Structure 1
Amino acid sequence: MRTFSHILGLLCFAAPAVVNAMVHHIEAVTPRAGQRGTTVEVVIDGAYLKDPREVLFFRPGIKCLEVKALPPLERKVSLHHGGYREDQVLCRFEIAPDCPLGLHPLKLRTATELTTLSTFAVTAYPVYHEQEQKQGANDAASAAEAIALGTSVHGRIDSVRLSDVDLYRISGKAGQHLSVEVDSVWLTERHYAESEFDLMVRLLDANGKELARNDDSALHLQDPIASMVLPKDGEYLVEIKQRVFKDGPRCYYLAHIGDHPRPLVAYPAGGKAGTSVQTALLGDPEGEVKQSVSLPAMAGDFSLYNKMPSPLPMRVSAYDNVLEDRAAEETHVKALPAALNGIIEAAGDSDAFTVSAKKGERWHVKVFARSLGTPLDPRISIQRVGAENAEVNADDATLEDRGLYAMSRAIQRKEMMDPAIVWEPKEDGEYAISITDMRGLGDPTSVYRIEVDAVLDEIDTFLQARVIDMVECPRLTGITVPQGGQWTVNVNLADGPGNTYKGELDLVAHGLPKGVRMIAPRMRAGQRQTPVQFVAEAGVKPQCALITLECKAVDGRPLVSRSQQSFPFLGHSGGRAWHSFVVDHYALAVMEPPPFAIEVAQPQIPLSQNGELTLAVKVVRQPGFKEDVEYQFDWVPNGVEGEPTITLPADKSEGTLRLSASTAAAPGTYQLAITASTVGGEYYLGTGRTRTSTKFFDLTIAQPYIALKSNPTAVRRGEKAQVVWDIEHKKPFEGEAEAVLLGLPKGVSVVNAPKFKPGDKQLIFEIAATNDALLGQYKELSCEITVSERGQQIRQRMGKGILRVDPAIAQTSSTSR
């Protein structure tokens, strides 16, 4: 249960989103798509895009041949959460003939920043740009725009007070396919609003009679897919419109209109790595098609294209397929691990596979159905043959079960409807793994795949900032390393399902540019976040790179370790992302030197539990740099708090930053860094700012010098008393220490300010109560102890005492008479 103070803390942390603009760098990429084998001019616009240098792509097949700044937009465009789109950058993308189809995530490096992520789509068809100049110009059949089959139409729905409809005319022959896929939600690069569009497609004859329609599809969710076989030679119409009207401009879409087949699922939906599998492609209006598919050598997700503009998702495993025996009630599985494949073909259908398992074995059971784009909403159960009750029942998965550690729980992903569990048989025997549709439905395309493999120890790395809606936050997750300097970022770890390794970990970086190195403190057992520092030598040229971070067990135990970062694109307000992109590499950029550096003096004394420590901070300014600088801690150990962000004025170069520790802070030595930035741009996400950090310094957390214990004390109004603390010495100190008594009520004060030295057994405060002292019992007495060591003062709070304030004797006697 969350406490009120915890909730209040979250609200306070969320406050900047209200009072400060939540601005991303890239707000639009135009056009949204290009055909492979071509070179396309693309305009990127948004905020803080001045001095562009290069474009970084996360997938192969695209190169940026040219990047240059354009004049700012003539009219700024107001953004949903504050700020404005005004900067423009012209890019020339060269798309290779064999470039992978689909979305390609990208970032732009400027002189000072690495932008937030956006995407660009690559198609197999030539791109036709809708010609509608005014809303309604192509809404009627007589005004439909003529296009050729084998075209990707880049259009948009502009619904301002009236619903927009786009019509396209094609010519076809009898027996020919007419297949249309409309990408809209999948295509969006919008972070907030203006993408709450749910489009539908209708296929019409020349007279406007409906022949086929689709609103939502199991394969593409809100984005529709429609396919038919043409009944005769002639002209046909493709209609694209909103399913539910929403007033608002700029709903972009990419409609792939062709004569290609459009199967919706493959069965079986995978096979053994490095082999060929015979599949049946299901769901096409012309019927089932057989195809041999060569599978890659690496296990994991796989995309089958087969002439379609978008692929059929498939899986590759390290073990053999088992296909359901449709003639038997149960399909026997010779041995685990295995991949179990079948179809829930009709309403009420249920499939079962019998396996042999032993007590003590640990199996990871993962269902793939909705994640493969099939309409099946699976539920599985595992039951020992002959037993009355199932050991396992599951219908949905957690983010961790599906390995989506970097994602917000508000993100909507179809694979979250597929269960995934760790199964540990309770005894030796035969078990039945059963699967059905949890709604009782079924059809010939309700394909599933159940992968049962041994649980492996897995600890993955991910970058995620806990900000509103889990949007990308460059100030907390961007890896921008200044030439000759360093940048520090927090890396999170996530245990894979069933992971048993709980020991110390080392982080290893792969793919760093020459001259860039990573400093990563060894992670303690159970620690799941650490600051990691990237350092660039002075001579390293500014550049971009894709890197991964791998966890290694200190004791040498084999670990699976992957890298992950998630980027939500919100389809509607409130944080529920209709579309998101997950990458398996982190973007790193070496930046041009910032106009300042920040340094911190290595503390010579430890931070004590229940104590405070003040650090000396220095900003080294380059000639001509006369701006404010902000600095703070972005990571501190558990039980330690850093002072909130400090702003150092432009006319100053020295400041301080305090740390405080509670009793929960674990003694030990930790590596910390202070991060700093310019104050322009936007505070919340950090766009429009130049950043750097101090080098790592060692912070030692130690037990307090003493412990204090007291018995309850009473004082009467108008009298004096003593508060006596027994001293237990924990570690030595030199000289005398000062003490302050805290928690006294109004009207009670300390008469003396005692000091104590090593070896003293008691600390005695003499207190006096006025005639107006507040009566009652006060349970929050404590002491603040100040010890001087190596020229620095160390403050600690400790002890818990009780004081009772009683009435004066005279008042008591008068009352009794």
Structure 2
Amino acid sequence: MRRRLWLLASVALVLLAPCALIAASPVLRELEPRGAQTGKAFTLTLIGRGLAEGATVISPLPATFTVLATKETRDPDAELSFLVELSPQAAVGLYPIRVYTTEGLSNILLFSVGAFPEVVEEESTTQMQEYSNDSPDKAQPIPVPATVNATLRGPDQDFYRFQAKAGQRLVFEVEARRAGSGIDPVVRVLDAAGKELARNDDAPGLGVDARVEVAFPKDGDYYVVVHDSKFSSQAQNFYRLKVGSFAFADGMFPLGWKRGEQHEVEMFGGNLPRPVKVRADLSHVDKDASFTTLSVPGPPGSLPFPFVVGDLPETVKPVSEGIHQLPPSTAMNGRISQRDEVDRYRLSVALAEEWLVELQSGALGTSRLTGVVTIYGSKGKKLASSADTGLDPNSAFLVSAAEAGVDASVAFKVPAETDEVTVAVEDLAQRGGPGYAYRLVAKKQPPDFTLTLATPYVNIPLKGSAQVIAVAERRGYNGPIQLSIPNLPDDLVVEGGHIPQEVSAQNTIRASRQGVLTITPKPGAKPRLLDLTVWGEAVAENGEASRRRAQGPGMITIVRGEKQKPFTASWLGLELPAMVAKERPAALEILTPRYVKLIHGMETEVGWKFVPRRPEIRPPKRVVDRNVPNVGNLRVLSGKTKEYDESGEMVMVTTVGTPPMKFDLLAEATINVDGQEETIAAPAVTFEVVQGYKMEAPGKAATLAPGGKTEIAGRLRREQDFNAPITVKADNLPANVSCSTAEVPGGAEEFTLKCEATVAAPAGEYTIELGSSSTLAGRNKENVPYTIPPVEARLIVTAR
């Protein structure tokens, strides 16, 4: 498939001398430069670690790569340089670059192809004071047009000097966050005296990136200044400043369309004299692609817009005012055109139907809308809203997605006397305008969930294990979810992947919950690249199963700062790129069974062992546990293990208040390899917390005549480790009927209750309860009272 081709085809093979140190999985930290002009040749240097051991570059960049010798002054393991010749047909846009070696697969960094000659900020290439450009008198001169490759460090401000003619119009656009930088840029344009002519922080259609267009009043020198809006220090601190005359738009409408079709898309705002139409041809888009790109007509410069590719029928909201019909399972493309506007739709429903209404808007990056969806029933009564949080799961299964930082969705069940609901869409801050577009879909389906991978790629070491994290966003469904990798090759083993049901004594249900899979090669597995897919499966209360495919993030850039979300690039269309790689310098093994059925109220040990494969590798300071749910007093104790032990145990402790559930314990440790910290992981250990026993009531009703006697016989299904005596009794008996208790000895499973009725017992068929009680040996060997929920049985009292 086209989506995967670039992952599986290397561009250039680099054979270098083996490194004297222990090789590490490759990591890319920087690209120098971050972009280039289309059709030009340039030197590209990859900077990171683990890059020397036969590295192969992987990229869809339309270019040829020729390896260059490493500079003698540089660490050969930390840099790779290439002569890259870009094709003249290379389109303006972002292209992923990664490498792999025998040690593993690297992360992705994005490379930008631009339309203008490239300039490098001198301050970025040296720490020498004479190259600083942090004031007007030290401004770096640049030609026009140009693209400047630069960096910002904390309070840094970069000044550039350029010349402009009277009446000349120039666009100043900063490309940063869209390309994977942590920078939130601000751009300012000043005249020769330092007077500010224009300023922008977050430009329409660019997310947090910045852009201004300036018409210059006279010939002369001017300045353009770039700084971070929060003056933050970011690990990925690059930006590309584009200065030139090019066409740009503030947005487009609609935001997407159906795969296999063509549709006209309107580009509007920016420096376009009027809205222009662009034909989106989706007839040849890959069957798994979720996005394509659309460029603004005219002189190129700005990055193209990501355009959603869907699989449902599409329609556009009518221009007329009033309430419109919302067809089910159809993408309705609309927009909040002005302040305080609320779009309303009629949706035909039926009693007890379960529906999901979801919105795509701000999370796409091409809409300014922070959407809120509200469902109204008959007489205008609010049934649900995506703005609601902390709902009681006993009164509804509605769960807000607002807490998760994603676009709005609402699940609801149709109440009595309702055959039509109103779906309302609005902006959270009552804003509006051409750029406040959305895609609205209503589907008849039970509560469900979505899955997103928090692991952008995975290296699976031979004789070791690797973790894959998936995050479930619950959309009404609060039950357990099982993760799996259906296309995993036979020489790999997957374990774990249990996301437990939501259990809370409070009224707030978590909208987001993670699950972790571990992948372990079998003996004889061969190193190779893989393209894996993670699925999640759940079963609703009515027995209906649902499966959801996990979306990959493509790449993840951590953005430092309070309430900052990581940058991701799901538009790359990647799921879980993986590599079976060489064994690591050490491994962590589990010595005890990896599936444990544990009676709540009891505890068990998980034994582990550190296995070094090089004599210089020391044991970790500690082995830590992860992923244990914070519910029902579940806790993990370290037992008798001391720091730097080569083996030890974790003690999983439950209480009688721990609910029955299935979850995974992940053991991991941090080791030091040649001065670098490296995490090693053990295979997942799955725990199933269960009742000590279950009670089975008689299959048929017991019959009792007034003045007569009968017996109620049943069975206890004990877990293997539960052998305590159990007392069984009958409750909720009708008047004038009594039953004895049954004392079931340890190890026994059958019980009989002897019942009798007086002559005054009223005739009828009754539902009674069979309750039980027992004890468990606590942590200090004391007996702890233990009960399980009662079961129902039927009792018939005949007429006299």
Check whether TM > 0.5: yes
Distance 1:58 1:138 in 2: 35
Map 1:330-345 to 2 at 5 A: 330=322, 332-333=324-325, 335-345=327-337
How many angstroms does 1:282 deviate by?
A: 0.6
Cα distance 1:534–1:59, how it changes in 2: closer, same or farther (>3 A)?
Answer: farther
* Aligned residue number for residue 467 of structure 2: 489
* Aligned residue number for residue 143 of structure 2: 147
Distance 1:522 1:347 in 2: 45
Residue identity (%): 16
Distance 1:189 1:347 in 2: 32
Distance 1:550 1:443 in 2: 38
* Aligned residue number for residue 594 of structure 1: 584
How many angstroms does 1:672 deviate by?
A: 7.3
Query: Which one-letter code corresponds to 1:168 in the other structure?
Result: F
The counterpart of 1:576, out of the listed 529, 546, 564, is: 564
**Would you say the 8 A contact 2:559–2:565 is kept in 1?**
yes
Distance 1:335 1:51 in 2: 57
**Would you say the 8 A contact 2:326–2:332 is kept in 1?**
no
2:615 is equivalent to residue 628 of structure 1: no
CA deviation map 1:303-330 (0-9, x unaligned): 322345222343343444443443x322
How many angstroms does 1:100 deviate by?
A: 7.5
Map 1:426-465 to 2 at 5 A: 426=415, 427-455=417-445, 458-464=448-454
How many angstroms does 1:448 deviate by?
A: 3.7
Cα distance 1:219–1:478, how it changes in 2: closer, same or farther (>3 A)?
Answer: closer
How many angstroms does 1:224 deviate by?
A: 1.0
Instruction: Decide which moves more: 374-383 or 132-141.
Output: 132-141
Distance 2:225 2:324 in 1: 48
How many angstroms does 1:269 deviate by?
A: 2.7
Query: Which one-letter code corresponds to 1:33 in the other structure?
Result: G
Distance 2:242 2:366 in 1: 18
How many angstroms does 1:34 deviate by?
A: 3.8
How many angstroms does 1:182 deviate by?
A: 0.5
Distance 2:461 2:202 in 1: 47
The counterpart of 2:274, out of the listed 287, 290, 303, is: 287
**Would you say the 8 A contact 1:610–1:797 is kept in 2?**
no
Distance 1:542 1:446 in 2: 48
How many angstroms does 1:447 deviate by?
A: 3.5
Distance 1:540 1:599 in 2: 18
Cα distance 1:252–1:145, how it changes in 2: closer, same or farther (>3 A)?
Answer: same
Distance 2:268 2:337 in 1: 12
Query: Which one-letter code corresponds to 2:561 in the other structure?
Result: S
How many angstroms does 1:90 deviate by?
A: 2.2
How many angstroms does 1:364 deviate by?
A: 1.8
2:667 is equivalent to residue 688 of structure 1: no
CA deviation map 1:262-307 (0-9, x unaligned): 1111123333332211222110322211222213555844432234
The counterpart of 1:275, out of the listed 252, 255, 261, is: 261
Distance 1:295 1:198 in 2: 33
Distance 2:614 2:566 in 1: 48
Distance 1:669 1:432 in 2: 39
2:118 is equivalent to residue 127 of structure 1: yes
**Would you say the 8 A contact 2:485–2:532 is kept in 1?**
no
Map 1:668-707 to 2 at 5 A: 678-680=671-673, 688-689=677-678, 691=680, 693=682, 703-706=721-724
**Would you say the 8 A contact 2:617–2:672 is kept in 1?**
no
SS in 2 for 1:366: strand
Distance 2:293 2:556 in 1: 22
**Would you say the 8 A contact 2:556–2:567 is kept in 1?**
yes
CA deviation map 1:553-577 (0-9, x unaligned): 6889452322445866454434534
Query: Which one-letter code corresponds to 1:145 in the other structure?
Result: P
* TM-score, with structure 1 as normaliser: 0.63
Cα distance 1:509–1:147, how it changes in 2: closer, same or farther (>3 A)?
Answer: farther
Map 1:232-381 to 2 at 5 A: 237=222, 239-242=224-227, 246=231, 252-285=238-271, 286-295=273-282, 300-306=290-296, 307-326=300-319, 328-330=320-322, 332-333=324-325, 335-359=327-351, 360=353, 362-368=355-361, 371-381=364-374
Cα distance 1:517–1:259, how it changes in 2: closer, same or farther (>3 A)?
Answer: same
The counterpart of 1:30, out of the listed 29, 32, 35, is: 32
CA deviation map 1:322-351 (0-9, x unaligned): 43443x322543733333334444444454
Query: Which one-letter code corresponds to 2:141 in the other structure?
Result: E
Distance 1:408 1:104 in 2: 32
* Aligned residue number for residue 201 of structure 2: 215
CA deviation map 1:104-146 (0-9, x unaligned): 566665776766x462332232532234684665965997634
How many angstroms does 1:373 deviate by?
A: 3.2
Pairs aligned (count)? 652
SS in 2 for 1:92: strand
**Would you say the 8 A contact 2:161–2:224 is kept in 1?**
yes
Of structures 1 and 2, the one scoring higher in RCO (CA 8 A, sep 6+) is 1
Query: Which one-letter code corresponds to 1:561 in the other structure?
Result: R
Structure 1: which 5+ runs fail to align?
1-23, 75-85, 465-471, 710-726, 733-761, 764-781, 786-794, 802-817
**Would you say the 8 A contact 1:102–1:123 is kept in 2?**
yes
Cα distance 1:119–1:505, how it changes in 2: closer, same or farther (>3 A)?
Answer: same
Instruction: Decide which moves more: 48-57 or 260-269.
Output: 48-57
CA deviation map 1:199-219 (0-9, x unaligned): 124387x99887654332232
The counterpart of 1:419, out of the listed 408, 412, 437, is: 408
CA deviation map 1:169-221 (0-9, x unaligned): 467997xx63332023444655xxxx5x54124387x9988765433223223
**Would you say the 8 A contact 2:666–2:681 is kept in 1?**
no
The counterpart of 1:551, out of the listed 517, 521, 536, is: 536
Distance 1:235 1:550 in 2: 60
**Would you say the 8 A contact 2:205–2:365 is kept in 1?**
yes
CA deviation map 1:657-716 (0-9, x unaligned): 54444435678999978656645579xxxx63363646979999854443799xxxxxxx
Distance 1:698 1:550 in 2: 21
Cα distance 1:137–1:696, how it changes in 2: closer, same or farther (>3 A)?
Answer: closer
Query: Which one-letter code corresponds to 2:112 in the other structure?
Result: V
The counterpart of 1:536, out of the listed 475, 498, 521, is: 521
Map 1:783-802 to 2 at 5 A: 798-799=783-784
Cα distance 1:388–1:288, how it changes in 2: closer, same or farther (>3 A)?
Answer: same
Query: Which one-letter code corresponds to 2:464 in the other structure?
Result: Q
Cα distance 1:451–1:312, how it changes in 2: closer, same or farther (>3 A)?
Answer: farther
Distance 1:249 1:615 in 2: 40
Map 1:647-686 to 2 at 5 A: 658-663=651-656, 678-680=671-673
SS in 2 for 1:689: strand
**Would you say the 8 A contact 1:506–1:520 is kept in 2?**
no
SS in 2 for 1:688: strand
* Aligned residue number for residue 758 of structure 1: none
CA deviation map 1:378-403 (0-9, x unaligned): 44544458x344545556999xx999
* Aligned residue number for residue 548 of structure 2: 560
**Would you say the 8 A contact 2:140–2:160 is kept in 1?**
yes
Distance 2:389 2:643 in 1: 50
**Would you say the 8 A contact 2:313–2:330 is kept in 1?**
yes
Cα distance 1:451–1:347, how it changes in 2: closer, same or farther (>3 A)?
Answer: same
Structure 2: which 5+ runs fail to align?
1-25, 391-396, 503-512, 691-718, 728-742, 749-773, 787-800
The counterpart of 2:485, out of the listed 508, 512, 518, is: 508
Distance 2:547 2:324 in 1: 32
Distance 1:383 1:666 in 2: 36
